[in-house]
């Protein structure tokens, strides 16, 4: 089975479509690690597109907030403004879809899906300290996670040697595939489709070939001006519009 793994699409339809175009023919099943909505201008269209792909989806914190399952107390003012806007845009059907998304960890054959971390769906795994604790809590050898909007991840060997998975943003959109070894455990972040924060503005995703035991990281440019125009037309906060082009 070859999985296309998407995370943190955040209502960015142009970025999503470009990822699907680049991934076309390279996968059998789509998996999505949460935060379909929030920040961007196309919440309903993104939900419908992901649903039509027959994707396996778990919920993210923005999916909870935008569907009323969680308040926005912990959100900063910009995220709160975008949440209020998204709530007003969502149709009943799309709101119900978000409300019914399962909470991670979601167990799959040989790996699991989480939004934040295996122990807490809202926790950020950014540092090696956080990664070690998450790797120890893992029920499966591979966990795919999102939430940080950083493409990459961590691996640990049987001898407890921890390494960051680095791949380097390549010019040609595809990075070198990373081999998966059965003696190691992995925390893998595909990066964010719709609002990267790792300094590279391009949409991020990965393809996991379970049979060949290969992870391939991808980045692709998209029509960012179009997304920004829609955000301005919707009166979404200007700092959210600008951050897309700097990838922070
Ligand atoms: Zn997110």
Distance of CA 62 from the midpoint of ligand 1 (Å):
7
Distance of CA 53 from the midpoint of ligand 1 (Å):
20
Query: Which carries the bigger pLDDT value, residue 166 or residue 231?
Result: 231
Return phi, psi of residue 163, to 5°.
Answer: -135, 145
Q: How far is residue 91's CA from residue 113's CA, in Å, rounded to a whole number? A: 27
Q: What does DSSP assign to residue 175?
A: P
Percent of the chain residues past pLDDT 70, beyond the cut: 97
| pTM for the predicted model, two decimal places | 0.96
Q: What residues contact 69, with CB distance under 8 A and at least 6 apart? A: 59, 63, 98, 99
Distance of CA 76 from the midpoint of ligand 1 (Å):
13
- pLDDT, mean over the chain: 94
Distance of CA 155 from the midpoint of ligand 1 (Å):
22
Q: How far is residue 116's CA from residue 33's CA, in Å, rounded to a whole number? A: 9
Distance of CA 159 from the midpoint of ligand 1 (Å):
33
Q: What does DSSP assign to residue 162?
A: E
What digits encode the pLDDT tens for the residues 199-229?
A: 999 999 999 999 999 999 999 999 999 999 9
The pLDDT of residue 237 is above 60: yes
Q: What is the pLDDT of residue 167?
A: 65
Tokens 């699907």 found at: 20
Query: Which carries the bigger pLDDT value, residue 139 or residue 121?
Result: 121
pLDDT band at 172 (very low <50, low <70, confident <90, very high): low
The tokens describing 203, both together, are: 């949409």
């Amino acid at each position: 089975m070859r999985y296309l793994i998407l995370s943190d699409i955040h209502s960015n339809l142009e970025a999503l479509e470009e990822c699907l175009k680049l991934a076309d023919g390279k996968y059998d099943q789509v998996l999505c690690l949460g935060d379909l909505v929030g920040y961007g201008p196309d919440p309903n269209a993104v939900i419908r597109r992901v649903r039509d792909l027959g994707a396996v989806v778990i919920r993210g914190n923005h999916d909870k907030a935008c569907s009323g399952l969680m308040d926005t107390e912990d959100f900063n003012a910009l995220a709160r403004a975008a949440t209020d806007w998204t709530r007003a845009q969502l149709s009943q059907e799309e709101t119900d879809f978000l409300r019914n998304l399962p909470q991670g960890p979601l167990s799959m054959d040989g790996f699991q899906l989480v939004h934040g971390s295996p122990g807490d769906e809202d926790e950020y795994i950014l540092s090696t300290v956080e990664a070690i604790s998450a790797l120890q809590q893992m029920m499966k050898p591979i966990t795919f996670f999102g939430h940080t909007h950083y493409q990459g991840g961590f691996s640990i060997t049987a001898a407890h040697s921890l390494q960051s998975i680095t791949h380097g943003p390549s010019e040609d959109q595809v990075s070198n595939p990373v081999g998966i070894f059965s003696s190691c455990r992995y925390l893998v972040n595909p990066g964010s489709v719709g609002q990267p924060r790792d300094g590279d503005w391009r949409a991020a995703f990965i393809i996991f070939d379970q049979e060949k035991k290969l992870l391939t990281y991808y980045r692709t440019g998209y029509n960012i001006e179009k997304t920004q125009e829609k955000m301005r037309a919707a009166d979404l906060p200007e700092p959210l519009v600008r951050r897309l082009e700097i990838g922070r």
